[in-house]
Structure 1
Amino acid sequence: ALGSGDVTDNATLELNTGGDFDNAIGGTGSVVKSGDKTLTLSGANSYTGGTTISGGTLVASNVEALGSGDVTDNATLELNTGGDFANNIGGTGSVVKSGDKTLTLSGTNSYTGGTTISGGTLVANNVEALGTGDVTNNATLELNTGGDFDNAISGSGQVVKSGDKTLTLSGANSYSGATTISGGTLIATHVNALGTGAIDNRASLLLDASGQFTVTDLTTESGGNTEIGAGSTLQATTLTQKSDSTLTINLDSNTADPVIHAASQVSLAGTLDITGVGDVLDSDPASTDDLDTFTLIASDKTIAGDFEKLTVAGMDADLADFITVDGRIDDTGKQYELTTALTWYADRDDAVTDAHGTFNLTNADGSFAVNTVLENVDATLDPASATGWDGTSLIKQGAGTLILNAENTYTGGTTISGGTLVATNVDALGSGDVT
């Protein structure tokens, strides 16, 4: 109807038709796609008045096909192109990414009809780039952004977290493709947030939801850090920790069953970092005679390899001498266990370490919370103890933070010579003087 020449639109151009419209459209006006047919805009258009899709399907086969204005999508917008699509998209309609190219959505979009990825790669450079609807991903969804992404993701495709920002997945996702963390930090705050596929972590992953995450395989590559939050557990087919990787496990009062269970294979290397030890040590001083033992990892088959390093509160375990910590594979070869005890009560269980009351946290970013009641132990100390401790006083040293949560009864006073000491109740510092 408009011939083969360029169109200068300074008002409204309504296209109630189907087919391929390749005329170049410029001007300050708007474009309206009406009717129930499928229309393709293939030109590099420069109109600025925005685009409205009121019916059918509008296909953009050029990243500049919709000009530079906002898009009001109340039907279907199909983007069969690559490049950076910066137009803001609103409306009640849906967006489809087709074709084998890589397309980036960088706008702040509010459309509600959902997103379908049928081919290529769709990159979201804004946490709101995919509107508010569900995402059906049958190809590749790359999230190069930070913030909270709560859209539900389904389909057979894979999800990639890229960039250096921190992104939270909080939706109940059912996608079956792999998840790759290539940069920044990915936080999963729903047990189904990572779908059901394999996870390849090359950066930082935090599982931070109460309950069990279930995936096929979890691999932490060299330089990567996988963290299991307090209250979270993991069921996987295989668990692989590469050399120079880190597995961080946060213990809590409910840590009884294995934190991680792998049905097929466990391969260990790198560093095991333990936090929350003070939260799980027995709060009753009368029960501190025995070491606390936790099963961190259980496998149906023999565990291969071992961790090369054990750290507690950000410090090498042998430097954190205010607790006794030992990690090892048990005699069956199928469980990795952690044993812990507070050095304050060490002489009660004939520990190799002599009892003392000094908490030296050398890592400025590290913290250690103690839920155990600290009482005088002078009557139980070995007279031959080389520490010279009187069994009644506490010394806080180092740049880190010590948190006392219990109502403590030691009487010999508290000395703070470095870092921070946090008392969470009025009796936390016992009854002696504080220096």
Structure 2
Amino acid sequence: VVSNVEALGSGDVTDNATLELNTGGDFDNNIGGTGSVVKSGDKTLTLSGANSYTGGTTISGGTLVATNVEALGSGDVTDNAVLELNTGGTFDNVISGSGQVVKSGDEMLTLSGANSYTGGTTISGGTLVATNVEALGSGDVTDNATLELNTGGTFDNVISGSGQVVKSGDDALTLSGNNSYTGGTLISGGTLVASNVDALGSGDVTDNATLEMNTGGDFDNAISGSGQVVKSGDETLTLSGANSYTGGTTISGGTLVANNVEALGTGDVTNNATLELNTGGDFDNAISGSGQVVKSGDKTLTLSGANSYTGGTTISGGTLIATNVNALGTGAIDNRASLLLDASGQFTVTDLTTESGGNTEIGAGSTLQATTLTQKSDSTLTINLNSNTVDPVIHAASQVSLAGTLDITGVGDVLDSDPASTDDLDTFTLIASDKTIAGDFEKLTVAGMDADLADFITVDGRIDDTGKQYELTTALTWYADRDDAVTDAHGTFNLTNADGSFAVNTVLENVDATLDPDSATGWDGTSLIKQGAGTLILNAENTYTGGTTISGGTLVATNVDALGSGDVTDDATLELNTGGTFDNAISGSGQVVKSGDDVLTLSGANSYSGGSLISGGTLVATNVEALGTGDVTNNAVLELNTGGTFDNAISGSGQVVKSGDETLTLSGANSYTGGTLISGGTLVASNVEALGTGDVTDNAVLELNTGGDFDNAISGSGQVVKSGDETLTLSGSNTYTGGTLISGGTLVATN
């Protein structure tokens, strides 16, 4: 027994029995022999020599520090207190006992024995490498530096501390403990299996080989590296981190839930069990395998990869958008929430079922090939059409079963190739089946509205006479009841697009005798209403008698009989691009436009107040009130074949013609520049600016009942009369030949 560290002097010790060191300090004498060394007492003793004794070491008290990997000779170590290894190298002595092992210092130390000590392991510095799964005994591990596990098997010691765990080597190692270490995990080789969701502590994981998660629960450690992640076992595991590993993901059992769109890194996914995506964003990892994909949660997720998985797709929550025709693999689809197929081309699946409450939407340019199509009660099928859509949009080889709601957008792109004509309204096939279609949709909506409110076109969806095709047809809603369409007839033309127009070439006649008595539209079957900012063009000789109301946009009549025989209430714009006599009474706050090259006559006593625009041809007024009460912008020809006082202000680049035998008075301060022609009767100007600024051709009688300076040039064969009490000056170089009569006031000639 040595109770003083210097008791044996400075020479070597040959121990062929038992050397008990009950002391502290640094014992650097070399120890050889066949005997054993016992460390007793409470003190800390350091062995620093390269010792060769073979009888083993017993630590019964205090701390025994080895600063040389050979300090404890070659025999087994019975550690019932504390063994501190402050050295590097490979320590292959077997360690047993109830004591603790401490790894200190900066060096790397390897424990290779199948050790059975139970007092736990503390790593306070450097790296402790275990090349045997039992190298650290059976106690807990406090890792405040680096623990490297270069071994296989199941490591169930609990690991805590601020340090890192490294898995190296080619073997598969399982961590099963409820670990709390915070320094992260590095997988540099082989496979690290976590059979407990807390097995990898709380730090980040750098996976450059294989990380296998054979557990359930929520794993929120961030995973990076070039390695792969494997989900095995029957449990449900959730990955919630924004992970960046690149080696791909394999799901061999149970369910892997990703509640972050980056949870599975950037590599491909081989799914042979269940992949649940409870997240939003764009998931572009390619998915293969025999497993199913489940979309859960409230968010919107986009699948953009070219996927080949065969296990089917279930949408249980939120919205799933497929932007690649192969995004949903080839299996069956069970949609309980919202699914959008939004890629140009054909999606091919086995079965597509939309459950009650679900909505399946086919994007514009997408088509679907399925074995069966099932739309259950209270489900919705939305089909978006555009000019590139080909029919049928959906083809089901085996069976189609319909119920719920059909919602269609873009109808005009497929049913009316020429929106300027009703002649091109036609039929488009939405769904085709190789067998008879079962059931029918309970409701049809168009562009978000019920079909019976679809403005001037009735959209009718129906199964055709063969029973194997579901077709979309259109016609004017005006005749919906007469033709037994599914929507109620009405006479409202609502064009909401200010840049849009629609032309009606068919004759609109009274249909009051064929109206459905249960209709909710309240239409009388004889009147037309134009609504919205767009343009409605009526080309036919219409015979409806109930009148026309223009409450928005523009109504163009290209036939003088286009508005039937009733009165017109114009609160927007009425454009008359026609010739002939228009004798319908016009009222309202709107404008009347005369366009085109024809000569149009307005003969009614009209009261509209929005003014008149003459952009082409000739507008003839045979009633002094024919142009209502508003201003007139005349950029063509305005012919006034009437008598009375016309006090509407006239502007524009056009000409004014006075025809007929009557006497007409112009009293406004007019600014038109196209000149004045008097071909008959008498034109009285009661304002010196009444005839605008252009020349006057007087072939009848021009009466100037005004004062001021009249400098318009006057030509023609007619007479000029100065009437009234005022003084009028003629300053132009006039050539009229019909003489001059001064019946009142003073006429001054300054030329």
* TM-score class normalised by the smaller sequence: 0.5 to 0.7
Contact 1:5–1:24 under 8 Å retained in 2: yes
Q: In 2 relative to 1, CA 385–182 (structure 1 residues): closer, same or farther, beyond 3 Å?
A: closer
In the aligned structure 2, how far is the partner of 1:26 from the partner of 1:301?
A: 95
Contact 1:35–1:56 under 8 Å retained in 2: no
Gaps of 5+ in 1: none
Please say which of residues 12-21 and 202-211 is displaced more in the overlay.
12-21
Q: In 2 relative to 1, CA 403–102 (structure 1 residues): closer, same or farther, beyond 3 Å?
A: farther
Q: In 2 relative to 1, CA 112–360 (structure 1 residues): closer, same or farther, beyond 3 Å?
A: same
Contact 2:414–2:428 under 8 Å retained in 1: no
Q: Matched residue of 2:229: which SS?
A: strand
Q: In 2 relative to 1, CA 20–146 (structure 1 residues): closer, same or farther, beyond 3 Å?
A: farther
Q: In 2 relative to 1, CA 218–395 (structure 1 residues): closer, same or farther, beyond 3 Å?
A: same
Q: CA deviation at 1:323?
A: 1.5
Contact 2:421–2:503 under 8 Å retained in 1: no
Please say which of residues 62-71 and 222-231 is displaced more in the overlay.
62-71
Q: In 2 relative to 1, CA 306–143 (structure 1 residues): closer, same or farther, beyond 3 Å?
A: same
Contact 2:423–2:505 under 8 Å retained in 1: no
Q: In 2 relative to 1, CA 423–125 (structure 1 residues): closer, same or farther, beyond 3 Å?
A: farther
Contact 2:366–2:389 under 8 Å retained in 1: no
In the aligned structure 1, how far is the partner of 2:145 from the partner of 2:552?
A: 64
In the aligned structure 2, how far is the partner of 1:426 from the partner of 1:151?
A: 65
Q: CA deviation at 1:352?
A: 11
Gaps of 5+ in 2: 1-6, 47-110, 154-217, 566-749
Q: CA deviation at 1:371?
A: 17
Q: In 2 relative to 1, CA 124–343 (structure 1 residues): closer, same or farther, beyond 3 Å?
A: same
Q: CA deviation at 1:320?
A: 1.6
In the aligned structure 2, how far is the partner of 1:78 from the partner of 1:373?
A: 90
Of 38, 45, 53, which aligns to 1:39?
45
Q: Matched residue of 2:372: which SS?
A: strand
User: What are the superposed Cα offsets for residues 150-188 of structure 1, whole Å, 9 maximum, x if unpaired?
Assistant: 000000000000000000000000000010000000000
Contact 2:422–2:503 under 8 Å retained in 1: no
Q: In 2 relative to 1, CA 421–105 (structure 1 residues): closer, same or farther, beyond 3 Å?
A: farther
Q: In 2 relative to 1, CA 187–372 (structure 1 residues): closer, same or farther, beyond 3 Å?
A: farther
In the aligned structure 2, how far is the partner of 1:359 from the partner of 1:6?
A: 114
Contact 1:154–1:174 under 8 Å retained in 2: yes
Q: CA RMSD in A?
A: 14.6
In the aligned structure 2, how far is the partner of 1:359 from the partner of 1:24?
A: 110
Q: CA deviation at 1:126?
A: 0.1
Q: In 2 relative to 1, CA 102–296 (structure 1 residues): closer, same or farther, beyond 3 Å?
A: same
Query: In the alignment, does 2:25 pair up with 1:12?
Result: no
Q: CA deviation at 1:314?
A: 1.4
Percent identity, aligned pairs only, is 96
Contact 1:401–1:422 under 8 Å retained in 2: yes
Aligned to 2:130: 60
Q: CA deviation at 1:321?
A: 3.4
In the aligned structure 2, how far is the partner of 1:261 from the partner of 1:329?
A: 14
Q: In 2 relative to 1, CA 143–288 (structure 1 residues): closer, same or farther, beyond 3 Å?
A: same
Please say which of residues 246-255 and 17-26 is displaced more in the overlay.
17-26
TM-score (norm 1): 0.65
Q: In 2 relative to 1, CA 357–101 (structure 1 residues): closer, same or farther, beyond 3 Å?
A: same
Q: CA deviation at 1:406?
A: 21
In the aligned structure 2, how far is the partner of 1:321 from the partner of 1:103?
A: 53
Of 321, 324, 335, which aligns to 1:190?
324
Q: Matched residue of 1:347: which SS?
A: coil
Q: In 2 relative to 1, CA 283–333 (structure 1 residues): closer, same or farther, beyond 3 Å?
A: closer
Please say which of residues 334-343 and 351-360 is displaced more in the overlay.
351-360
Query: In the alignment, does 2:72 pair up with 1:2?
Result: no
Q: In 2 relative to 1, CA 361–105 (structure 1 residues): closer, same or farther, beyond 3 Å?
A: farther
Contact 1:60–1:80 under 8 Å retained in 2: yes
Query: In the alignment, does 2:455 pair up with 1:321?
Result: yes
User: What are the superposed Cα offsets for residues 349-371 of structure 1, whole Å, 9 maximum, x if unpaired?
Assistant: 99999998845599999999999
In the aligned structure 2, how far is the partner of 1:221 from the partner of 1:349?
A: 34
Q: In 2 relative to 1, CA 324–117 (structure 1 residues): closer, same or farther, beyond 3 Å?
A: same
Contact 1:34–1:53 under 8 Å retained in 2: no
Q: In 2 relative to 1, CA 351–160 (structure 1 residues): closer, same or farther, beyond 3 Å?
A: closer
Q: CA deviation at 1:324?
A: 1.4
Q: In 2 relative to 1, CA 51–173 (structure 1 residues): closer, same or farther, beyond 3 Å?
A: farther
Q: Matched residue of 1:332: which SS?
A: coil
Contact 1:54–1:74 under 8 Å retained in 2: yes
Please say which of residues 21-30 and 187-196 is displaced more in the overlay.
21-30
Q: CA deviation at 1:279?
A: 2.6
Please say which of residues 218-227 and 353-362 is displaced more in the overlay.
353-362
Contact 2:258–2:277 under 8 Å retained in 1: yes
Contact 1:74–1:94 under 8 Å retained in 2: no
| Higher RCO by CA contacts (8 Å cutoff, separation 6 or greater) | 1
Q: In 2 relative to 1, CA 282–399 (structure 1 residues): closer, same or farther, beyond 3 Å?
A: closer
User: What are the superposed Cα offsets for residues 55-112 of structure 1, whole Å, 9 maximum, x if unpaired?
Assistant: 9999999999999999999999999999900000001111111111100000010000
Please say which of residues 107-116 and 35-44 is displaced more in the overlay.
35-44
Q: In 2 relative to 1, CA 114–387 (structure 1 residues): closer, same or farther, beyond 3 Å?
A: closer
Please say which of residues 59-68 and 255-264 is displaced more in the overlay.
59-68
In the aligned structure 2, how far is the partner of 1:29 from the partner of 1:416?
A: 117
Q: CA deviation at 1:307?
A: 0.6
Q: CA deviation at 1:124?
A: 0.1
Of 433, 437, 460, which aligns to 1:299?
433
In the aligned structure 1, how far is the partner of 2:132 from the partner of 2:526?
A: 76
Please say which of residues 33-42 and 230-239 is displaced more in the overlay.
33-42
Aligned to 1:360: 494
Which of the two has higher C-alpha Rg?
A: 2
Contact 1:39–1:58 under 8 Å retained in 2: no
User: What are the superposed Cα offsets for residues 263-299 of structure 1, whole Å, 9 maximum, x if unpaired?
Assistant: 0000001111111113334243565225320100000
Q: In 2 relative to 1, CA 18–147 (structure 1 residues): closer, same or farther, beyond 3 Å?
A: farther
Contact 1:268–1:307 under 8 Å retained in 2: yes
Contact 2:429–2:470 under 8 Å retained in 1: yes
Contact 2:324–2:343 under 8 Å retained in 1: yes
Contact 1:276–1:369 under 8 Å retained in 2: no
Contact 1:278–1:369 under 8 Å retained in 2: no
Q: In 2 relative to 1, CA 328–391 (structure 1 residues): closer, same or farther, beyond 3 Å?
A: closer
In the aligned structure 2, how far is the partner of 1:167 from the partner of 1:77?
A: 40
In the aligned structure 1, how far is the partner of 2:556 from the partner of 2:28?
A: 69
Contact 1:33–1:52 under 8 Å retained in 2: no
Please say which of residues 352-361 and 270-279 is displaced more in the overlay.
352-361
Please say which of residues 351-360 and 176-185 is displaced more in the overlay.
351-360
Please say which of residues 376-385 and 395-404 is displaced more in the overlay.
376-385
In the aligned structure 2, how far is the partner of 1:190 from the partner of 1:131?
A: 20
Q: CA deviation at 1:322?
A: 2.5
Q: In 2 relative to 1, CA 415–123 (structure 1 residues): closer, same or farther, beyond 3 Å?
A: farther
Q: In 2 relative to 1, CA 173–379 (structure 1 residues): closer, same or farther, beyond 3 Å?
A: same
Contact 1:51–1:69 under 8 Å retained in 2: yes
Q: In 2 relative to 1, CA 354–157 (structure 1 residues): closer, same or farther, beyond 3 Å?
A: closer
Contact 2:276–2:294 under 8 Å retained in 1: yes
Q: In 2 relative to 1, CA 401–287 (structure 1 residues): closer, same or farther, beyond 3 Å?
A: closer
In the aligned structure 2, how far is the partner of 1:90 from the partner of 1:330?
A: 57
